[in-house]
């Protein structure tokens, strides 16, 4: 009986830890931000998509950056990244691909995100791009960034929208065929964790393809970092990892320099 109780308690503790692994965070930053953030409705085909927009505090017009969510939905963390982007001088706009659904368990997130088709991704990003370029405070410059699955979608979208001035792909799978890079008209900057061979194994082929197509691809692998280091390296994360914070800081330093070039 004691053994049964021990196993039961251990299972409960493990389940609790797993449930906390992807716990959302970021509201504190959003609630204390001096920048204006708002929800907007964007028409995409026959559906209306919600998107979250944050504006920088600056006296002139700014570039707009599309922010492509990771698998867990348009979370508070993703919205806090929009605020952090705006703090660095750009208009950040993140469309909601999952219609308000947010997940803290990976299995549920993967199931929901896998139901989003390539056509839907392109349609939503096209509609968001059109909306962003019509924002009165936008200077007509457009870029895209994404994380995890969104990092892969970012690389794909660089091949689909010639109006993009830059693409920033964070630990997303890179393209594996010529047709997926031949139309890329902007530089693609990759941000990867050293301990993420599942994703990193796709980099050499993409480098080969991009070089052959005379395209600019600059991947950087951050030492000791794991997958998702922009999230897990955020000090506000309940499951913060110190090694990932170093990578996050280095990635932000690089990214901020690139954003200033838009």
pLDDT in tens, 20-33: 357 899 999 999 99
What mean pLDDT do residues 79-93 have? 98
Beta strand pairing call for 91-95 and 47-54? antiparallel
Phi-psi region of 162 (alpha: psi -120 to 50; beta: other; left: phi over 0): alpha
Give, as one character, the DSSP assignment of residue 84: H
What is the residue-averaged pLDDT of the chain?
92
3-state helix, strand, coil in the chain (%, to 5): 45, 25, 35
- Domains annotated for the chain, with CATH where assigned, are 24-259 (3.40.50.1820)
pLDDT at 1 exceeding the cut of 90 = no
List Cβ neighbours of 167 (8 Å cut-off, separation of 6 or more).
143, 144, 145, 154, 155, 157, 158, 184, 186, 187, 188, 189
Please state, in angstroms and as integers, the Cα–Cα distance from residue 185 to each residue in 37, 127, 157, 179, 233, following that order: 30, 19, 11, 13, 31
Give residue 3's pLDDT: 44
Percent of all residues in the chain with a pLDDT value above 90, rounded to a whole number: 87
Mean pLDDT of 38-44: 96
Report pLDDT for 21: 52
What pLDDT, on a 0 to 100 scale, did the predictor assign at position 40? 98
CB burial of 149-163 (b: ≥16 within 10 Å; e: otherwise) equals bbbbbbbbbbbbbee
- Residue 9: is its pLDDT beyond 80? no
- Single pTM value for the model: 0.91
Burial 165-184 (b: 16+ CB within 10 A, else e): bbbbbbbbbbbeeeebbeeb
């Amino acid at each position: 009986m004691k053994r049964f109780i021990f196993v039961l308690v251990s299972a409960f503790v493990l389940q609790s830890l797993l449930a906390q692994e992807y716990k959302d965070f970021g509201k504190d930053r959003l609630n204390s931000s001096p920048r204006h953030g708002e929800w907007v409705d964007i028409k995409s085909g026959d559906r209306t998509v919600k998107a979250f927009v944050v504006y920088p505090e600056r006296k002139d017009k700014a570039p707009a950056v599309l922010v492509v969510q990771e698998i867990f939905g348009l979370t508070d963390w993703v919205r806090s990244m929009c605020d952090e982007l705006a703090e660095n001088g750009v208009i950040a706009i993140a469309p909601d691909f999952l219609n308000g659904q947010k997940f803290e368990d990976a299995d549920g997130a993967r199931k929901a995100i896998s139901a989003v088709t390539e056509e839907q991704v392109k349609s939503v990003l096209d509609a968001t791009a059109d909306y962003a370029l019509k924002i009165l405070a936008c200077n007509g410059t457009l870029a895209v960034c994404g994380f995890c699955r969104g990092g892969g979608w970012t690389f794909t979208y660089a091949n689909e929208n010639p109006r993009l001035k830059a693409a920033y792909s964070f630990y997303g799978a890179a393209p594996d065929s010529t047709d997926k890079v031949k139309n890329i008209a902007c530089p693609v900057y990759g941000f990867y964790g050293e301990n993420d061979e599942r994703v990193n194994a796709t980099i050499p082929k993409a480098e080969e393809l991009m070089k052959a197509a005379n395209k600019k691809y600059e991947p950087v692998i951050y030492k000791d970092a794991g997958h998702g280091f922009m999230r897990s390296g955020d000090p506000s994360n309940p499951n913060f990892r110190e090694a990932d914070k170093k990578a996050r800081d280095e990635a932000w330093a690089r990214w901020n320099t690139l954003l200033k070039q838009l």
